[in-house]
Homo-oligomer: A and B are copies of this chain.
Amino acid sequence: MADATLRIDRPAKTLRTLALERMREAIMDFHFQPGERLVERPLCDQLGVSRSVVREVLRQLETEGLVQMIPGHGPAVAKPDLGRTDEIYELRALLEGIAAKACATSATDNQIALLDTALAKLLEAWASGVPAEVMRATARFYEVLFEAADKRIAWEIVTGLNVRINQLRSMTILSLNRRDAAIAEMHAIMDAIRSRKPEAAEAAARRHVETAWKIAREALRLGSL
């Protein structure tokens, strides 16, 4: 009988896919500044592909919220909508909360082990102090968390939210005074999940987002953006 593990997933080899990933990374890593124009033809040269490809990628990034079309001019790297950061953090608190709760309720021991691994990697990244590493490890941890919570859609949403506050996050995610507190908060989440305390896990997850939110607000207030 057909074994699912036999299925080979064809490598996503189209130029479009590659270009999309490349551009997404480039924007998230600030190789383009927020607000910077993304003129199509120069992009073609840089990426080494045709305008068809570039335009399709641009459309996709646009609906993802990474790029915005400026009427009259063309596409540009989206600028974070500072007026909506409160809402975004509120939603993150909500979503990460229910994920942690569900995790505490129904994660398998195996999944909890995966979470431990992800957390360990995150600590390493924090120790290394490389921002990009920390971002990646954080994302990975939450990905595992949402996976274990069986909240795939919520994860997609959170990813989309994080895109919009990428700039803020990059500033706050490893602000030094945040690091120790953040580590403690993460451990609190894990402890609650491990001991199967849904309410505690939810509270801990929310608390973590809320402190991040506070730091972000501070950063905004200082006008460093």
Contacts and interface: CB of A to CB of B under 8 A. Distances in A.
A95 to B, nearest CB: 8
A109 to B, nearest CB: 23
Contacts of A63: 60, 63-64
Given A10-B71, A71-B10, A84-B152, A91 B60 contact: no
A83 to B, nearest CB: 9
A78 B95 CA distance: 25
A37 interface: no
Nearest to A151: B87
Interface stretch (A119-127, A153-161, A169-177, A204-212): A153-161
B87 A150 contact: yes
Most chain-B Cβ atoms within 10 A of its Cβ — which of A94, A153, A154, A157? Answer: A153
Contacts of A164: 153
A197 interface: no
- Greatest chain B CB density within 10 A among A151, A152, A157 is at A157
A108 interface: no
Nearest to A55: B56
Nearest to A97: B94
Interface in A160-202: 160-161, 164
Nearest to A62: B60
Pick the 3 closest A-B CB pairs, nearest first: A63-B63, A59-B59, A56-B59
